[in-house]
Structure 1
Amino acid sequence: MKITIVAGARPNFMKIAPIIHAIQKEDKLSFRLIHTGQHYDKKMSGDFFEQLNIPEPNTNLEAGGGSQAEQTAAIMVKFEKELLDNSTDLVLVVGDVTSTMACAITAKKLNLKVAHVEAGIRSGDWTMPEEINRLLTDSITDYFFTTSSVANENLLNTGVSENRIFFVGNTMIDTLLKFKDKFEKPKVWNELNLKEQNYIVMTLHRPGNVDEESKLKDLMKEIILHSKDLPIVFPVHPRTAKMLEHLGISDERLHMVEPLSYFEFNFLVQHAKAVITDSGGITEETSVMGIPCMTLRDNTERPETITMGTNELLGSDPRAIKSAMERLFNNQWKKGQDIPKWDGKTSERIVEVLNSLAN
């Protein structure tokens, strides 16, 4: 069976890497890797291919940039040509970025089968572009690979038949566990004289947090005020850095650094006192690594990181940060537990299913 694998943005690369490695061991399966170019700078793509041992893409659609609509249209036009020029039996998409939705739609319009890795997750928040991408992708998917029993229920509740749902686990955790011995101390470790369990890692990227000036100012004020004397390491997007500079937000403990590679960033997370984020994927990684995680959002599509992991949903009110920090520093943070099938073997289970479909 010939499989076309789609990757477009940073989170996709961690998810496709173990699937590719598992397919490479199989005789009945072959793949063609398509990079849509949705994220196209080196830190967002190039480093990942090298570090995670992903082969160079067969094609880069170079569809990055522009508005949501412009990007979606560019991906669909170029991916359609790719599929017409290169026959395939199955298009495999991962996650919930624009590329996921755009390529799934394009494939179905050509009457091709679609498999969605990380299907069924839902935040219930239709203001998130990712939620729209999930809903549209799952509405036309043929085979659903899920990360949790909650995702299974979400799909069953929309009428998806049970025989098309495969509870396999989390491929991003496959990557985390496989490469954790290769995590790499970034330059900022020595430059900032960081000590294990004695600093906080922060990431913010959602428009609701970083585009509203008053909200961002209040968040940063509360985080700085209640993090005691710990350094705060903030790998920051240039746009957010400009906003912080414009707002005059600075502190000797706040260290805004360039985006880090996968190995460098996870080294920092692995040794941190805690992580403050609005990212979904990071909540999964912190849960597996046992690192306290505070999520600055009103909802999450990954509830298992809260019910079984180390993540807590603080909401969008900056005043919630104080009590969370108090619990952290009083050693009252929950320890978390093993999450079913987040064991490093998810990709093997996916390939088992793909092999059965090839028969």
Structure 2
Amino acid sequence: AGRRYAVATVHRAESTADRVTLSEILAFLRAQARECIIVFPIHPRTRKEIEAWGLDLSGILTCDPVGYLDMHRLLRSAVAVFTDSGGLQKEAYFHRVPCVTLRSETEWVETIEAGWNRLWKGPGYVPRRDITSYGGGHAAEKAVSLIVDHLISDRD
């Protein structure tokens, strides 16, 4: 079986022109790389800024930009997409791959409403986590305790 991977793209001027923003995005991608391989085809403008600012790409698998068909091949088996691209958000949806849009807004609001896309914005982003649907896992013990207490109180 192949290893799990996600696809990342970053190319918009608002993502790459500011050192702090680009650094935060890369920190987010490095954090995600602890969970799965991040395949990051780097746009020339993005590569130029990363190199100029000496930003950290450790733990991220980088490559040159890929064409349309190769991107679809990558998406087909990806577990997630992290992107600032408008089009790739929708392509991720078509492939049924969850997406985190590396912006504070999206033109594809329906992907958010359908639960296939989430917005990210710097340090305020809260990663998805599982919730406990049925309490903390001790419902049986609590139920038994209540029943025993009830039975004991009926004796008195």
Aligned position for 1:222: 28
SS at match of 1:241: helix
Any conservation in 1 of the 2:26–2:56 contact (CA below 8 Å)?
A: no
Is residue 276–residue 296 contact of structure 1 (8 Å, CA) maintained in 2?
Answer: yes
CA distance in 2, matches of 1:319, 1:247: 23
Q: Residues 1-359 of structure 1: matches in 2 within 5 Å?
A: 195=2, 198-308=4-114, 310-314=116-120, 316-320=121-125, 323-324=126-127, 326-327=128-129, 330=130
Distance 1:206 1:251, change over 3 A: closer
Q: In the alignment, is the contact (CA less than 8 A) between 2:30 and 2:58 conserved in 1?
A: no
**Larger CA Rg, structure 1 vs 2:** 2
Letter in 2 for 1:199: Y
- Asked whether the 8 Å contact 1:201–1:272 carries over to 2, the reply is yes
CA distances 1:256-310 after superposition (whole Å, capped 9, x unpaired): 2111111111111111111001111111111121111000112221111111251
**1:212-253 residue CA offsets vs partner (Å, 9 max, x unmatched):** 011111221132124324221111111211211222223442
1:350 is matched with none
- C-alpha change, 1:222 and 1:308, in structure 2 (3 Å) is closer
SS of residue paired to 1:200: strand
Work out the CA distance in 2 between the residues paired with 1:258 and 1:251.
14
Count of equivalent residues: 131
TM-score by length of 2: 0.74
3-state SS of paired residue (1:284): helix
Change (3 A) 1:309 1:289: farther
Which 5+ residue runs of structure 2 have no aligned equivalent? 132-156
Question: Normalising by structure 1, what TM-score?
Answer: 0.34
For the 8 Å contact 1:200–1:273, the answer to whether it is kept is yes
Paired letter, 1:284: K
Q: Take 2:103 and 2:57, find their aligned partners in 1: how far apart are those partners?
A: 24
- Distance in structure 1 (CA, Å) of the matches to 2:51 and 2:118: 29
> Are the counterparts in 1 of residues 9 and 40 from structure 2 also a CA contact under 8 Å?
yes
Q: Is the 8 A contact 1:219 1:318 kept in 2?
A: no
Q: 1:221 to 1:259 in 2, by over 3 A?
A: same
Matched residue SS, 1:228: coil
Query: Is contact 2:32–2:38 with CA below 8 Å preserved after alignment?
Result: no
Partner of 2:122, secondary structure, is coil
Distance across 1 between alignment mates of 2:87 and 2:94:
11
Q: Which has the higher contact order (CA 8 A, sep 6+)?
A: 2
